[in-house]
Amino acid sequence: MTLRFDGKRILITGGGGNIGTAIAQRLAREGAWVILTDLAVDRIDRVAQALRDGGGRAWTVSMDVTSPASIAAALDQAEQMTGGPLDGLVAAAGVLKIYDFLDLPKADWDFTLNVNLTGTFLVFQEVGRRMVRSGVKGHIVGISSVSGRSGRPNVVDYAASKAGVISLVRSAALALAPHGITVNAVCPGVVDSDMTRTVHSGRAALKGITVEESLAAMVNTIPLGRIQTPADVADVVAFLLSDDAGYMTGQSLNVCGGLEMD
Ligand SMILES: NC(=O)c1ccc[n+]([C@@H]2O[C@H](COP(=O)([O-])OP(=O)(O)OC[C@H]3O[C@@H](n4cnc5c(N)ncnc54)[C@H](O)[C@@H]3O)[C@@H](O)[C@H]2O)c1
């Protein structure tokens, strides 16, 4: 059987995180040449080593998605290490902090918007430029969230940044469509991850309950009746990176067990 991503160069930002790692594992299993990038180089080094130990092709490069110079240097290095231009990008770097709307400091608002929205824009733009220059009809995928679909009083900055990613995906898709490049996103729901534990430790503290109680109450509201795994997200990201999704662009798909339907 032909592997879907055989020899395709796909770069992941936030590759050391729970979701970025699952995406890297999924893509490597399907033959992709994976370039993991993150601020946390020790984490991506461990993930890449495990992929190589399993017979995959994987490289690591340090990248700060908020810095155009860091992005350009990392992409130069990625092209040099793998011997060619990128075929795909997954922008998974992200941050989240918990504050009530009335207490959210401007500095934290700025920080979240800078990493989650501006960082996604900067990486989309530089990868888009390089795909256009090299004539690659590539696939670009962002990670939004169901938080970007409605209001979130305790993660106001995060929800705004993720709504921004949905808008950015639409604009980038229109700009890059004439070059045959697709741009889409996924909106995960409640993923079994460190980030979700952060959300629920904040919520639990506000409500005077335990983290486990807060998580269980949330899982009760998920129509499919279970928490989402990082692999559930990776499955749909892989689809959007593949030619199976070649006629889709500008879309943000809810991948959330039915939690959000708009
Ligand atoms: N975990 C969830 O429940 C959930 C739900 C919906 C959406 N998401 C989104 O999915 C993406 C991945 O989430 P995760 O759960 O893997 O989070 P995570 O915290 O495990 O991973 C995020 C990664 O981004 C990296 N990062 C942070 N700032 C960076 C920067 N300036 N430059 C480069 N890398 C940076 C971190 O070092 C970390 O490795 C995020 O965009 C997140 O907002 C997560």
Nearest CA owner, ligand 1 atom 36:
14
Confirm whether 119 is domain-assigned.
Answer: yes
Confirm whether 174 is domain-assigned.
Answer: yes
pLDDT range class, residue 195, cuts 50, 70, 90: very high
Q: Is the CB of 40 under 6 A from ligand 1?
A: yes
Confirm whether 157 is domain-assigned.
Answer: yes
Q: Is the CB of 184 under 6 A from ligand 1?
A: no
Same domain, 109 and 94: yes
Confirm whether 3 is domain-assigned.
Answer: no
Same domain, 121 and 214: no
Confirm whether 261 is domain-assigned.
Answer: no
Give pLDDT, residue 1: 66
Q: Is the CB of 115 under 6 A from ligand 1?
A: yes
- As a whole number, the mean pLDDT across the chain is 97
Q: Is the CB of 71 under 6 A from ligand 1?
A: no
Tell me the Cα Rg of the chain. 18
Question: Which residues are CB-contacts of 14 (< 8 A; sequence separation ≥ 6)?
Answer: 20, 37, 38, 65, 91, 92, 93, 94, 143
Same domain, 105 and 204: no
Same domain, 44 and 112: yes
Asked if 118 and 95 touch (Cβ cutoff 8 Å), the reply is no
Give pLDDT, residue 241: 98
Ligand 1 centre from 157 Cα, in Å? 15
Q: How far does CA 45 lie from the centroid of its chain?
A: 18
Ligand 1 centre from 1 Cα, in Å? 33
CA dist., res. 71 & res. 234, Å (int): 23
Q: Is the CB of 38 under 6 A from ligand 1?
A: yes
Confirm whether 153 is domain-assigned.
Answer: yes
Nearest CA owner, ligand 1 atom 18:
17
The best mutation among 23, 37, 38 to test binding of ligand 1, ranked by most ligand atoms within 8 Å of the C-beta, falls on 38
Average pLDDT of span 203-232: 93
Q: Largest alpha-carbon pair distance within the chain?
A: 56
Same domain, 126 and 36: yes
Identify whether 99 is a catalytic site residue. Answer: no
| Segment among 2-6, 103-107, 135-139, 242-246 with least mean pLDDT | 2-6
Confirm whether 259 is domain-assigned.
Answer: no
Asked if 11 and 140 touch (Cβ cutoff 8 Å), the reply is no
Asked if 90 and 23 touch (Cβ cutoff 8 Å), the reply is yes
Amino acid at 45: D
- CATH (domain of 167): 3.40.50.720
CA dist., res. 46 & res. 36, Å (int): 10
Same domain, 28 and 139: yes
pLDDT range class, residue 202, cuts 50, 70, 90: confident
Same domain, 51 and 94: yes
Same domain, 66 and 147: yes
The string of pLDDT tens digits covering residues 77-128 is 999 999 999 999 999 999 999 999 999 999 999 999 999 999 999 999 999 9
Q: What is the b/e burial string over 74-100, where b = at least 16 CB atoms within 10 angstroms of the residue's CB?
A: bbebbbeebeebbbbbbbbbbbbbbbe
Q: Which domain holds residue 236?
A: 9-189+229-254
Confirm whether 25 is domain-assigned.
Answer: yes
Same domain, 118 and 204: no
HEC sequence for 74-139: HHHHHHHHHCCCCCEEEECCCCCCCCCHHHCCHHHHHHHHHHHHHHHHHHHHHHHHHHHHHCCCCE
State the distance between the two ends of the chain, measured CA to CA, in whole angstroms. Answer: 37
What is the position in ligand 1's atom list of the atom closest to the CA of 66? 31
What is the position in ligand 1's atom list of the atom closest to the CA of 188? 6
Other beta carbons less than 10 A from residue 214's beta carbon: 20
As a whole-number percent, the residues of the chain with pLDDT over 90 amount to: 95
Q: Is the CB of 112 under 6 A from ligand 1?
A: no
What is the position in ligand 1's atom list of the atom closest to the CA of 16? 39
Phi, psi angle pair for 219, to nearest 5°:
-60, -35
Amino acid at 65: V
Give pLDDT, residue 199: 87
Domain count, the chain: 2
Name the H helices within the chain: 18-29, 41-53, 68-82, 106-112, 119-134, 156-176, 194-207, 211-219, 230-241
Is pLDDT above 90 for 205?
no
Nearest CA owner, ligand 1 atom 17:
17
Q: Is the CB of 13 under 6 A from ligand 1?
A: yes
What is the position in ligand 1's atom list of the atom closest to the CA of 191? 3
Selected catalytic residue, list 63, 120, 158, 245: 158
Same domain, 216 and 239: no
pLDDT range class, residue 36, cuts 50, 70, 90: very high
Is pLDDT above 90 for 214?
yes
Same domain, 175 and 51: yes
Same domain, 176 and 116: yes
Give pLDDT, residue 206: 81
Q: Are strands 88-91 and 57-62 parallel, antiparallel or unpaired?
A: unpaired
Bridge partners (DSSP) listed for residue 231: none
Q: Could you give the C-alpha distances from 70 to 14, 63, 79, in angstroms and in order?
A: 14, 6, 14
